[in-house]
Structure 1
């Protein structure tokens, strides 16, 4: 595998992993007020092809282990005898920070992909002369 195609492969795998991470972050934000919802987090794993590492992939989705928030609302249909029900464990500030981090990482990998594409195009133009 040439260096250009390897760099394109690595950056495209990172783009896919970050887009999956952003999807889970957006699900968390959408369910911030859903009772009983647990935050989803994704980790990244190195992809190995033979002896060389060939990129990154999103690993298994983990559910947040923090306690669910206890919300007092006696009129809520899910409230128990004391008037409490379990909310979600999603922290909106953390989710927004994760979304920003995923976006910036996605943009950086997109720039890397574009640079490798431009370099290979320039190399082909030089070889044609």
Structure 2
């Protein structure tokens, strides 16, 4: 039974980590047009004691900010340019799809472990 509980915990931690990643991706998409916004990225690590997935610290993407030409914008310099964000919507959508698939894979593992535990309980009741 301990292995089933471990499986449930590991898959739940994976789902939580992917949900955290999706929250940051959503924030990046929402701020794609915000001047000076830097894309946020998050990595994962493993807690060596519990073997669960843990989201790492949020880091800002160091890529250059996009230069936008809009002379009428109050943020524009003498040449009519201002710094936009470094969010690329294609990358964000691809990352969101990857996080969604990771979440779904952990959900399937969680469901399989739950079904196995239920089967074990059914056998013990007989």
Q: TM-score range by the shorter chain?
A: over 0.9
Cα deviations by residue, 1:57-116 (Å, 9 ceiling, x for unpaired): 100001011000011111001011111100000000000000000001101101110110
Q: Are positions 1:2 and 2:2 aligned together?
A: yes
Whose strand proportion is higher, 1 or 2? Answer: 1
- State the 4+ residue runs in structure 1 displaced beyond 4 angstroms: none
Cα distance between partner residues in 2 of 1:54 and 1:46: 6
Tell me the equivalent position of 2:110. 113
Secondary structure, in 3 states, of the residue corresponding to 1:45? strand
| RMSD over aligned Cα atoms | 1.0
Cα distance between partner residues in 2 of 1:77 and 1:22: 33
For structure 1, the 5+ residue unaligned runs are: none
**Normalised TM-score (structure 2):** 0.97
Cα distance between partner residues in 1 of 2:51 and 2:81: 50
Tell me the equivalent position of 1:21. 21
Tell me the equivalent position of 2:57. 60
Cα distance between partner residues in 2 of 1:28 and 1:56: 23
Specify which of 95, 99, 102 is matched with residue 99 of structure 2.
102
Cα distance between partner residues in 1 of 2:109 and 2:93: 24
Q: Are positions 1:75 and 2:67 aligned together?
A: no
